[in-house]
Amino acid sequence: MVVPVDARASWRSVQRRAKWWEEWWPANEPSRPTTRNRKLSAWTVHIQPKWGKRKLNSLTYLELQTWVAKELKGYATQTKVLELLKMMLRHAVRDQRIPFNPAADVTKTASPPVRHPDDLTPPTEEQYTEIRKHIPVWWQPVTDFLENTGLRWGETAGTRRIFLDLEADTVKVWSSTTAARCAARASRRRRPASAPSRSR
């Protein structure tokens, strides 16, 4: 006998959220430490205490949306928690544990942080000259390189001698280093290695 998908989902959805996590996490645990720790934090601090004892098929859109609006404080927190919650429930639908994802349309209610325009604008030559006076001398070549090329910190840390073309005065941006790994970037760029018009 062929059992309809909805019937199978209804039967299996008596499983509680915490039990689903135990099955779901080993198959979806990120390899990158920072990502893994972020998801573990979202589960242990926010999702498990609130919903861990609830059955998957008992969750509703309205109570999830209310929870996000009333109990999850801050744009960053709402972002990371909703990302994990929606993924878990989306996979529960695929595995026929529930017939639909009650969190699919849940949205963030907190506003993203607004950065001051000055934070988005690089310093002028005059401003950097003043800043440079307060930088230890052994760091000045690094900050000069950052200022002249406009590279991000991770891109600078990933730079190797073979990426520098001293004759053409350029640097190829081929990799970016983070605390967890060094990964090739999808797009390769060529940037001036120095700014000849500036004198230090």
Say what the pTM is.
0.59
Which residue shows structure tokens 């990933």? 158
> 95-109, 133-147, 176-190 — which one is most confidently predicted on average?
95-109
Q: pLDDT tens, 80-120?
A: 999 999 999 999 999 999 999 999 999 999 999 888 877 77
Helix 17-28 × helix 75-94 angle, to 10°: 90
pLDDT in tens, 20-58: 999 999 999 999 888 999 999 999 999 999 999 999 999
Is the pLDDT assigned to residue 16 strictly greater than 90?
A: no
Rounded distance, CA 61 to CA 95, Å? 20
Compute the C-alpha angle 121/124/128, nearest 5°: 110
